[in-house]
Amino acid sequence: MALRLRRGTESERQNLVTPLAEGELIYVTDTGKLFIGDGSATGGIEVVGSGGGGGGGSSTLNGLTDTDLAGYTDGDVLTFVGASNKWEPIPIPGASPIGMNDLTDVDYTNVNALDILIFDGFNFITTPITSIFQEQMNYRINIYGDDSTLLVDTDTNSFRGLLFGDVQGDVKGSVHGDDSSLLVDGVNSVITGPVDNLSSKSTNSVVTGTLKIESSQTQGATGGLSIRTEQNADDEYDLFTIYSASNSDVGSAINYIRSRGTLAAPVGNQADDELMGINYFGYDSNNNAQASVVLQTSIGAAPSAGIVPGDFLIATANPVSGIVAALSVDHMQKTSFFGPAKLMSYADTTARDAAIASPEAGMMIYLTATNKAQVYNGSAWTDLH
């Protein structure tokens, strides 16, 4: 076996006339590469991986013989350059990362914080967000909370969120509590739910029209309308003041209407049904509220068409028994005293006549000078005993 090896420059290799014999080697001194003959290629075939540069043994781009990576920058693209017969990094417009102001349809001048892009028909221009919400313009938008809950629904013209704070102006619609119970019925103009505090901070608050408060509870339940006031010592004022102005002779009235059934479907009363009781309370020595005076109205007999017979009772608390009946007037106008009745007393006839200048028949008084009761018979005072 014979080994044939030549040496020479790249120029000498390329200028060979006779092809290298098959298996013949030639080492190029100026490139450090090794070529092997195949019997047909004049300068032989390069041995892959030889010379320390190029070939399949390269592990980086700049190790390839047909790649020149000198002078590359961010965004360059490898482009084949025919003049050098190599791939070179070339800056290509549009191939590198672009900014908003690189777009041809965007006018990015005079930018301020919170500006937005709006198309003006030709370009997208920077516009302050405040210019969108202009005065005297209508906007139809829904509003959602941080938890994606719909607060203002413009599709149904409804407010669905929770309101904290004061509301000034007109509010139309119904009001529901946290448990979805109806508190204010805006359709029928009725306060239907419990009202813990209906207060006024103004001494001149005015309610025009009809103020209607309805309270409904099951039998045996307590509740209703409770009014609480507090004032400094020695202050005097009216808890209820009713003003009425009218051209007629009909004045104001406080009406309490009681029925069986429900508010929506009232049913006629029965005998002995209580109509209304007004209880006056004070605090005892143990700081507990106790009834002191009671005014009670009730149905005296079975009602008929157009007639509801009524009884009236006054009860007071005595030091021993507490609340006891004192005076009653029944539906037949019979007056009953549940204690001693005391006539108005005068010292003598002079004092009597001075106090009662125009007596009427049936008047009764008591004279302390004679210890006698008298009645006026229409013309004179006469002793009853």
Q: Which residue has the higher pLDDT, 100 or 14?
A: 14
The structure's pTM equals 0.51
What torsion do the CA atoms of 252, 258, 262, 263 make, to the nearest 10 degrees? 0
55 pLDDT exceeds 50?
no
Provide the residue type at 75 as one letter.
Answer: G
Mean pLDDT of 297-321: 95
pLDDT digits (tens, 9 = 90+) for 322-342: 999 999 999 999 999 998 989
Q: What is the 3-state secondary structure (H, E, C) of the chain?
A: CCCCEEEECHHHHHCCCCCCCCCCEEEECCCCEEEECCCCCCCCEECCCHHHCCCCCCCCHHHCCCECCCCCCCCEEEEEECCCCEEEEEECCCCCCCCHHHCCCEECCCCCCCEEEEECCCCEEEEEHHHCCCCCCCCCCCEECCCCCEEEECCCCEECCCCCCCCCCCCCCCEECCCCCEEEECCCCEECCCCCCCCCCCCCCCCCCCCCECCCCCCCCCCCCCCCCCCCCCCCCCCCCCCCCCCCCCCCCCCCCCCEECCCCEECCCCCCEEEEEEEEEECCCCCEEEEEEEEEEECCCCECCECCEEEEEEEEECCCEEEEEEEECCCCCEEECCCCCCCEECCHHHHHHHCCCCCCCCEEEECCCCEEEEECCCCEEECC
- Model confidence band, residue 84 (pLDDT cutoffs 50, 70, 90): confident
Q: Please, what is the Cα angle at 180 between 176 and 182, to 5 degrees?
A: 45
What integer best gives the mean pLDDT of the chain?
A: 83
- Model confidence band, residue 93 (pLDDT cutoffs 50, 70, 90): low
Alpha helices in the chain (DSSP H): 10-14, 349-355
314 near 327, Cβ under 8 Å?
yes
pLDDT digits (tens, 9 = 90+) for 111-154: 888 888 888 888 898 888 887 777 777 888 898 988 888 888 98
pLDDT in the model for residue 273: 95
Bridge partners for 315 per DSSP? 294, 325
pLDDT in the model for residue 132: 77
- Model confidence band, residue 219 (pLDDT cutoffs 50, 70, 90): low
69 near 61, Cβ under 8 Å?
yes
Q: Which residue has the higher pLDDT, 247 or 197?
A: 247
Domains and CATH numbers, the chain: 5-65 (2.10.10.30), 100-131 (no CATH), 144-198+208-215 (no CATH), 250-341 (no CATH), 345-383 (no CATH)
pLDDT in the model for residue 352: 96
Provide the residue type at 20 as one letter.
Answer: L
Mean pLDDT of 85-97: 73
pLDDT digits (tens, 9 = 90+) for 187-217: 887 777 766 665 555 556 666 666 666 666 6
d(CA 169, CA 211): 19
